[in-house]
């Protein structure tokens, strides 16, 4: 059992045998999609699949009400997530992801771009097979949001002007939107459309917290936990909440040109230290916890079966514990 | 009136005022999509839109039966086509398309990759708005095929082993599939699903001819017609039918290492001449004409209104005339 599975063990225990079976079926379906569309996709997608991941988004589909009928939706949200990872790795020229060579490293830029496009397409093909245009609508809204978030992030690179509001908007687009869609899809296929709005809100809040805590971890380290060098965001010009908040109390940081001041790994680490002493990491963590709190409060507005409610609360707590 | 509009004038005349109105509405809808998803997409997509194009795929949607209800489908096929162009330009590092800077040239690789992803997403969002999961299925099959075709093309780069069958498979995936989908979508929204198979076959055949003649033109030139240097495919290692056929009759060509022999523009032009003298261009053209003939024969199996049939035949002829 790896760390990820350990973290999810309490959730799986609440979900019972049926949840584990549905997640196994999702895994089998993802492998089928990877194999079923030509040898090039098979090679590239199987590597991406084998690299694993928490399958947090399919898990949310099932915990939000989706049963057997929601299997294509669970596969679709993970395929869309994989597609964005493959494209992100091309843009970041990332050679490794979770300790394995990326599609970019293995097949080069053209193959990785086309592989991402193919995974995108298969996500929509999976959902279309359910016959639910509502579901396709929810996924295409999330998919558009992810791409807009990416555009926003690239537009904001190195900028001194990024406000906390703008940063939150970016997190909503590039991360929270897919968590939200996963929860909505669960409600749609669970034939409880009345819960879609509230469960969508739950997903959006934990997605927001997830991204914020990820950004805190990039500054706080340690690298043994993150698997990447400290300050990687600063090095590629991505302005996140810790820096934005630190700039408010540290005047010199406010005037600092990020491009010049985080040019090397050593510079980036020094900048991380400087951000840390302002207390900005605690402030950012506190905001993330507020979002987790709001997510759980949203659950309180629904009449959910006790075990499903408990499992969803555990997922929300898991987002925090991952970074505790 | 530009050349493109001149070429389409006879088709538009057959289609009458209603066809022109539907194409104008499609144009307006594309502009709305470009403007409605943040300033970054607006800038990049408006440039791509303004660069024009024949809107051949939306035209096929309407000529295959789609009326007012098919407007989202017409916009969707063009958005998907635009998405692939934007991604292709990233992979080819193309600075210009139809005389205007590409998104890649204007915004760089990350912005262009994200813009392509956003256009992909909006294509599916448009179709989802119609409530037809059948239509989404048709588009996602085409979208997967386009990406598979791209993967195949990159896998076959520089290879001496590409057979005519493999080449045809690639053309079907990367070009004909979207022509086919456009025709199928027209039939679906025209509430004549019984015609979808045959009209899809029509679209697939003219798509195949379209790509083959494009590949012939790359070798034959002249550059004033193509707007790109002669032998551009050879320079980037794309093995097309003229080279494959020429290798059958010219033994030295068969043994030739493309990477070494088409390293410069001058090399590529010399290679084009050598291909031309084998008669391979005429053979490839002849095959393309066979596909156009089959496309028209497929129309004969349907009981179409005379003007629509005539307009579809004109589109098929236009594919050939474009290269005459």
Q: Give the Cα separation of B130 and B188 in Å (integer).
A: 11
Q: Does B238 touch chain A (CB under 8 A)?
A: no
**In the CATH scheme, what is the code of domain B3-321?**
1.10.600.10
Predicted confidence (pLDDT) at residue B51 exceeds the cutoff of 90? no
The predicted structure's pLDDT at residue A323: 53
Residue A228 tokens, joined: 């990447």
Q: Does A148 touch chain B (CB under 8 A)?
A: yes
Q: Does A197 touch chain B (CB under 8 A)?
A: no
With beta carbons less than 8 A apart as the criterion, state whether A64 and A186 touch: yes
The predicted structure's pLDDT at residue A324: 47
Predicted confidence (pLDDT) at residue A1 exceeds the cutoff of 50? no
- 3-class DSSP state of B39: helix
| Domain boundaries along the sequence of chain B | 3-321
Report field, pTM of the whole predicted structure over 0.80: yes
**In the CATH scheme, what is the code of domain A159-317?**
1.10.600.10
Predicted confidence (pLDDT) at residue B96 exceeds the cutoff of 90? no
Most confident of A51-60, B116-125, B178-187: B178-187
Taking CB atoms and an 8 Å cutoff, what residues of chain B touch A154?
40, 107-108, 110-111, 114
With beta carbons less than 8 A apart as the criterion, state whether B238 and B152 touch: no
The predicted structure's pLDDT at residue A311: 95
Q: What percent of chain B has pLDDT over 70?
A: 97
Residue with tokens 């009326």: B67
Predicted confidence (pLDDT) at residue B256 exceeds the cutoff of 90? no
Across the strands, what pairs with B101? Answer: B96
Write out pLDDT tens, residues B169-221.
999 999 999 999 999 999 999 988 889 999 999 999 999 999 999 999 999 98
Interface of A with B in 93-132 (CB under 8 A): 107-111, 113-118, 120-122, 124-125, 127-132
The predicted structure's pLDDT at residue B280: 97
Predicted confidence (pLDDT) at residue A2 exceeds the cutoff of 50? no
- The shortest C-alpha distance from B127 to chain A (Å) reads 9
**How many interchain CB pairs under 8 A, A with B?**
155
Q: Does B143 touch chain A (CB under 8 A)?
A: yes
CATH of A17-131, one of 1.10.600.10, 1.10.1060.10, 3.50.50.60, 1.10.10.10: 1.10.600.10
- The shortest C-alpha distance from B309 to chain A (Å) reads 31
Higher pLDDT, A99 or A296: A296
With beta carbons less than 8 A apart as the criterion, state whether A116 and A86 touch: yes
Q: Give the Cα separation of B175 and B211 in Å (integer).
A: 7
β-strand B96-97 against A100-101: which pairing, if any?
Answer: unpaired
Query: Which of A214-223, A313-322, B36-45, B192-201 has the least mean pLDDT?
Result: B36-45
Higher pLDDT, A45 or A139: A139
Tell me what the mean pLDDT of segment B37-45 comes to: 81
Q: Which chain B residue's Cα is nearest to A113?
A: B87
Predicted confidence (pLDDT) at residue A200 exceeds the cutoff of 60? yes
Write out pLDDT tens, residues B233-244.
999 899 999 999
Nearest residue to A89 via CA among A44, A54, A56: A44
Quickly state the pLDDT bin for B261 (edges 50, 70, 90): confident
Give me the residue from B91, B115, B128 closest to A137, CB to CB.
Answer: B128
Mutate to test the interface with A, among B32, B38, B149, B159 (most CBs of A within 10 A): B38
Residue with tokens 């813009």: B115
Predicted confidence (pLDDT) at residue B324 exceeds the cutoff of 50? no
| Burial (CB count within 10 angstroms: exposed 0-12, middle 13-18, buried 19+), residue B169 | middle
The predicted structure's pLDDT at residue B2: 47
């Amino acid at each position: 059992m790896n760390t990820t599975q350990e973290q999810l063990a309490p959730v799986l225990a609440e979900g019972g045998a049926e949840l584990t079976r549905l997640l196994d079926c999702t895994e089998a379906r993802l492998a089928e999609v990877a194999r079923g569309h030509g040898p090039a996709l098979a090679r590239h997608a199987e590597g991406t699949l084998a690299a694993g991941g928490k399958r947090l988004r399919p898990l949310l589909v099932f915990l939000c009400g989706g049963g057997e009928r929601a299997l294509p939706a669970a596969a679709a949200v993970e395929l869309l997530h994989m597609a964005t990872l493959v494209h992100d790795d091309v843009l970041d020229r990332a050679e490794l992801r979770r300790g394995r060579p990326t599609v970019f490293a293995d097949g080069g830029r053209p193959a990785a771009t086309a592989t991402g496009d193919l995974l995108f397409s298969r996500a929509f093909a999976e959902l279309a097979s359910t016959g639910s245009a509502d579901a396709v609508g929810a996924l295409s809204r999330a998919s558009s949001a992810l791409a807009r978030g990416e555009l926003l992030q690239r537009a904001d690179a190195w900028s001194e002007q990024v406000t906390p509001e703008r940063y939150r908007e970016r997190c909503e687009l590039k991360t929270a939107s897919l968590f939200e869609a996963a929860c909505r899809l669960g409600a749609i296929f669970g034939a409880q459309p009345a819960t879609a709005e509230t469960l969508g809100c739950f997903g959006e809040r934990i997605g927001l917290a997830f991204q914020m805590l990820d950004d805190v971890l990039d500054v706080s380290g340690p690298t043994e936990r993150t698997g990447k060098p400290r300050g990687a965001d600063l090095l590629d010009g991505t302005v996140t909440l810790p820096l934005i908040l630190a700039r408010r109390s540290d005047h010199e940081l406010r005037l600092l040109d990020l491009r010049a001041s985080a040019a090397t790994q050593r510079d980036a680490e020094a900048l991380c230290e400087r951000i840390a002493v302002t207390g900005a990491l605690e402030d950012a963590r506190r905001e993330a916890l507020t979002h987790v709190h709001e997510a759980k409060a949203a659950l309180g507005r629904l009449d959910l079966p006790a075990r499903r409610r408990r499992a969803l609360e555990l997922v929300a707590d898991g987002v925090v514990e991952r970074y505790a």
